[in-house]
Structure 1
Amino acid sequence: MKRATVRQGRQLALSMAVMLVVSGSVQGWQADPPSKKPPPSSYASVNEPDFATTMSRMSNAKAGIMQRQKSLLQERYDLSDKPAKGVTMSRGKPIQEGVRVKLKSGSSWQQLAGMTPEEIKNKDLFPAGFMPLPHPNHPEGGMLFPHFEIERIKQQDNRDLTRFDLDFDLPDPFLPEFPQGIYLTTRPDLGDVSKGKLVTLDNYYELFNGLLNPKQLDGLRLLLTPFPQQQFNATADRRSVRPSQGVACFDCHANGSTNGATHLVGDIRPQEFRHRIETPTLRGVNIQRLFGSQRALKTVEDFTEFEQRAAYFDGDPVIATKKGLNILDRGSQVHDMAEFEELLDFPPAPKLGWDGKLDPAKATEEEMRGQAVFFGKGQCSSCHTPPYYTDNSMHNLQAERFFKPRMINGMMATADGPIKTFPLRGIKDTPPYMHDGRLLTLNDTVEYFNLVLGTKLSDQEKQDLVAFMRQL
């Protein structure tokens, strides 16, 4: 009898405990509703899942992710190879011509130019190719390199920049020529000092010994030296098959310019609000006073140190410590790297005079008309002032006036905010355009600004403007 009573008492106590836990009333503890997700954290997790399991899962998901991005690009753009006749980049790669952004069904550029931003927004007519461009896998993000950079680095440095989870997304015809030439402010008489080679640790000394002073030469060595980075490192949460030495500054800024490599900015949270960033060229940093598309860093030394300390690790110092933060000495190493960067000149522009404007004796009528549009009706010179075609400032175009915020492949397409005025010297060498690479050609760029600025250019004025910018 006693045993039955004890057993019944235990069962009653257990039932009451379960009821209390379910109701969330044990010592004031409240259970989270099953469907509630924890708020996003500013920090990435330092826990490492099993590498083999992660690689298998992400490798299997790769085809679907890349197909989703390919479909987005095909929906937005005409991706066919249509080189302009008689126009090339500095080392001979054909330049793509024509407007590649596709219009919404039933709309035209002329029609859009005659509408107010509110009308375009309410009717959802803002071209998809003018919207912010997501990373190929925006929820994951990270540095991503074009195949030609990956292949050449394998050959020369025996490093592998392949990611097992992603491939680069934009087609080769819309990327810069590879490798680009190197022009030095100190030796303009030499022209391209790269001799058509991709400069790496394998050949930099052979190419530059005797052209640079010892500080500049060591700065170049450091710019070519791989250091651990978020996706390329020795930890189990890397995105390369083998443990990696890391990446070098010039893996993205190939030959001191750009190869079109992409990343996500590190200074925005949560993840869906981070912007894709297309690698800008380092040519002409000596005449610039702002660095970074939105960060407004004030010196090239600040920029160099920021890249190593923060951008390499998505702006997360905890992860940086775990994966192998490389702390550079500001007074020697950073200084030397910046000193070399400040030697990188724009490519030759034989039709420009000392003031950055066209020499009438060398320019065509079309180019001269385009220059008049640039400094007049087109309003381009309001921000892009000669001779280098930048005002060293930042401007907010407020393009969000034209569309309602929306999720696109894991990215929240919304306001860009203030963006640095990048120099236009050498612009034909560095497609795609805008800070995130959303505009594939100069023709696309003209259409974008014609709409956003409301300049109402004619078709002929647009063509003339493109002809002018190709000479910068």
Structure 2
Amino acid sequence: SMSRGKPVQEGVRVKLPQGVTWENLASMTPDEIKEKNLWPKGFLPLPHPNHGEGGMVFPKFVIDEINRQEARDLTRFDLDFDLPDHFLPEFPAPIYLTTRPDLGDVSQGKLVTINNYYELFNGILNPKQLEGLRLLVTPFPQQQFNQTEDRRSERPSRGVACFDCHANGHTDAATHLVGDIRPQEFRHRIDTPSLRGVNVQRLFGSQRALKSVEDFTEFEQRAAYFDGDPVIATKKGVNVLERGSQVHFMAEFQALLGFPPAPKLNIYGKLDPAKATKEELRGQDLFFGKAQCGVCHPAPYYTDNLMHDLKAERFYKPQMVNGRMASSDGPIKTFTLRGIKDSPPYLHDGRLLTLEDTVEFFNLIQGLKLADQEKRDLAAFLRAL
């Protein structure tokens, strides 16, 4: 289960083309799979719920809780979120602070909002960090949620807060389209990444490669909130944050967001043989050996802080899928795998619903030819991280 007890979905959910097994696919070259059109549809880039329109879309449980606490409605009149709740992270997610590991989860099981952040955190944060958190839970105008007539909420909206997507400093799997690609059909869907462990990360944005969490915090509301268009940002209400007394405070709080406890890992980020199962230990050997996961995801934090291009387009012909042109994605940031069981779905666009789907995907992408037991071992290790 996840850190607060939500069941982790298991098993391969991607459907294979008729008459084909995973072993068949693993024995073929990328060109063969491409020519015979056998790449599983679930492994193609995932389109936005309405790719031509795009924009922020929130799961219903997020909309309901923010509406209950703040009377701020993040419902879109034109779109609903598309993935079932059981494939999403637990909500509200636990919060672990690097400065107070003795406290465990400090969320008290609540979604942190502008209404309760002070009572929850006063006394465990300093005044600067508390002010940073206030800004992270304060809504500001955004492309779909604003006070102009060009919006997707029924009534004029105060906007969106950082923690509406990064709920409790983690993720609620809210989706959007990246702002940095044109034309529209080439824009990538985003699965909101967790902010846990940003203190050890040095690249931000799946492809924009911003170099610090301060940069990301400062620039996000200048244009990314508005589809990468600074003119529209000016029209709808851009939020210009001051670097020294606002951005720095927000970033300092974000840097306190720790990974969830992983009781089977030692101080080097590897399994303690006295605590791990045989399956998990075999999975670790595969991870750093035959499967080569550790090349891009080295211990202890399981990221190399670089970007890599998987070249998945080797396996399929360019094709339009619900308004999304499935072709080459290009280099994408290596996300950390610590606490990975807490943040489904997987890959930058959320196309992979389970860790088992992810293992099957990379088995083909990397040409690993893993046996069934090896796949199970690898998934078991990932759940222990």
The equivalent residue for 1:430 is 343
Higher-Rg member (1/2): 1
| CA distance in 2 between partners of 1:351 and 1:411 (Å) | 41
Q: Does 2:154 match 1:228? A: no
Correspondent of 1:368 among 272, 281, 284: 281
| CA distance in 1 between partners of 2:30 and 2:277 (Å) | 36
The equivalent residue for 1:299 is 212
**Following TM superposition, by how much is the alpha carbon of 1:145 offset from its aligned partner in structure 2, in angstroms?**
0.2
Correspondent of 1:170 among 72, 76, 83: 83
Q: Does 2:133 match 1:133? A: no
Which secondary structure does the structure 1 equivalent of 2:232 belong to? helix
Q: Does 2:216 match 1:216? A: no
**Following TM superposition, by how much is the alpha carbon of 1:106 offset from its aligned partner in structure 2, in angstroms?**
1.2
RMSD: 0.5
Which secondary structure does the structure 1 equivalent of 2:317 belong to? coil
Aligned residue runs from structure 1 range 268-307, under 5 A: 268-307=181-220
- Structure whose residues are more often helix by fraction: 1
The equivalent residue for 2:369 is 456
Aligned residue runs from structure 1 range 318-467, under 5 A: 318-467=231-380
Q: TM-score, normalised to structure 1's length? A: 0.81
| CA distance in 2 between partners of 1:236 and 1:149 (Å) | 24
The equivalent residue for 1:49 is none
| CA distance in 1 between partners of 2:206 and 2:2 (Å) | 24
| CA distance in 2 between partners of 1:143 and 1:189 (Å) | 36
1:274 aligned partner, one-letter code? R
The equivalent residue for 1:34 is none
Which secondary structure does the structure 2 equivalent of 1:412 belong to? strand
Which secondary structure does the structure 1 equivalent of 2:176 belong to? strand
2:285 aligned partner, one-letter code? A
Which secondary structure does the structure 2 equivalent of 1:95 belong to? coil
**Following TM superposition, by how much is the alpha carbon of 1:167 offset from its aligned partner in structure 2, in angstroms?**
0.3
Q: TM-score, normalised to structure 2's length? A: 0.99
| CA distance in 2 between partners of 1:376 and 1:370 (Å) | 10
Correspondent of 2:228 among 315, 329, 334: 315
**Following TM superposition, by how much is the alpha carbon of 1:433 offset from its aligned partner in structure 2, in angstroms?**
0.1
The equivalent residue for 2:6 is 93
Aligned residue runs from structure 1 range 108-123, under 5 A: 108-123=21-36
| CA distance in 2 between partners of 1:115 and 1:360 (Å) | 37
Q: Does 2:170 match 1:253? A: no
Q: Does 2:179 match 1:266? A: yes
**Following TM superposition, by how much is the alpha carbon of 1:292 offset from its aligned partner in structure 2, in angstroms?**
1.0
| CA distance in 2 between partners of 1:371 and 1:447 (Å) | 17
Q: Does 2:158 match 1:241? A: no
2:112 aligned partner, one-letter code? V
**Following TM superposition, by how much is the alpha carbon of 1:306 offset from its aligned partner in structure 2, in angstroms?**
2.2
In the comparison of the two structures, how many residue pairs are matched? 385
| CA distance in 2 between partners of 1:92 and 1:190 (Å) | 18
Q: Deviations over 1:368-421 (max 9, x none)?
A: 111111111111001000001001101001000000001111111111100111
Correspondent of 2:99 among 174, 178, 186: 186
Q: Deviations over 1:63-110 (max 9, x none)?
A: xxxxxxxxxxxxxxxxxxxxxxxxx00000001110000001111100
Higher relative contact order (CA 8 A, sep 6+): 2
